[in-house]
Amino acid sequence: MNPQIVLFHRKESLVEDGMLFVRTEDILNTMIKTPLILASLVIVAIGMPIQASFSSTRSLELTMYSDGSTHVSTQIDIDSLSPDFQFELFGPSVDNFVAVGEDGYLLSAEIIENTASIDTFGSANITVNYDIHDLISKEGRVWTFSFDSPSDYTLLMPSNSIIVGMSSIPKNMEVLDEQTKLELSNGETEINYVLGTPQNPIDSIPPTDPTPPSEDYTIPIIFGGLIAAGIAGASIIIKKTKLKSLSSTIQTEVLSEKPNEEQFVDPQAVFDFRPDMREDDRKIVKFIYENGGQVFESELRKKFLQPRTTMWRAVKRLERLGVIEINKKDMQNLVSLKKDLEEEE
């Protein structure tokens, strides 16, 4: 009997124990590369918005006025590669908004509600100034300042203000020219205060008694009043010199094309035209003339230390007298002396 040979073809996918053999080299590579790719995408996605929204507050200064408004001045470091910068204001009621680049140039801005979009023009830091009416409220005689600050800041209280309540302890407190200056930390702060009325030294002189008093205090009181008046005048002069000259820088850049001051009416001609003009109005006219015949209303407020409403009434009064003109320029009121004086019909 001849044995019959039968060919048997063994499959490569089978091992000796009959299990299916699968190559794992490609699977391992895929398992290693996939997390790396996902991690890279996550890093890129996180990094892009951080770069686009980079900003850091360098300084923040607030000045409160007796009419309930607050002047905000802040310096911010931004991304110089970003063409514009979205800046969140501290409220929607904004006046006299000014943004200046690191080279002192005025930057254009658009304000929508409480957000300002500023064209950076390659600036690495910007200075922003504006007046706001949303931080202070009043109930009876008590004024309340409420603010949630993103950074540490300084706060200059109004003149003759008396603090009656405070929600947080300041890091430092000092008195500068009859104004209280506070250094506060970031976070929520509420300050309650009242505005005191300075007493006239002359009013404090006791009435004359027909019988001669044992001691006469009249001369010391009058002398003290004169000293107090001198100190008050000196404090005003010092305060004027300490105020920042940001508005002067802006005027140099924005009003570089304005006409020569000889083209405007001389102050003496204005005073001859309106001989009954008030003394404080005469000072405003002289200041406008000495600064080239044109200034911003905000410059007048800082020069004469007047609240916004008080200075606006003075400017409108001069306009009615026919000696100045008021025009809008870069979201501000530009006050100009007239070139010709004409009697109103």
**CATH second-level architecture of 55-195?**
Sandwich (2.60)
Does the pTM of the predicted model rise above 0.75? no
Q: How would DSSP label each residue in 255-321?
A: TTTSPPGGGSPPHHHHHHHSTT--HHHHHHHHHHHHTTTEEEHHHHHHHHT--HHHHHHHHHHHHHH
CA–CA gap between residue 81 and residue 106 (Å, rounded): 18
pLDDT in tens, 312-333: 989 999 998 888 999 988 778 8
Q: Above pLDDT 90, what percent of the chain?
A: 22
Fold (CATH) for 246-337: Arc Repressor Mutant, subunit A (1.10.10)
- For the chain, give every domain's residue range: 55-195, 201-242, 246-337
- Position 42: which residue type? V
pLDDT in tens, 188-243: 999 999 987 644 443 444 444 444 444 555 555 555 666 666 665 555 555 555 44
Please say if the pLDDT value at position 12 is more than 60: no
Q: Residue 121's pLDDT band (boundaries 50, 70, 90)? A: confident
Instruction: Phi first, then psi: give them for residue 279, nearest 5 degrees.
Output: -65, -40
Q: Residue 140 gets which letter from DSSP?
A: T
Do the strands 153-156 and 55-64 form a parallel or antiparallel pair, or are they unpaired?
A: parallel
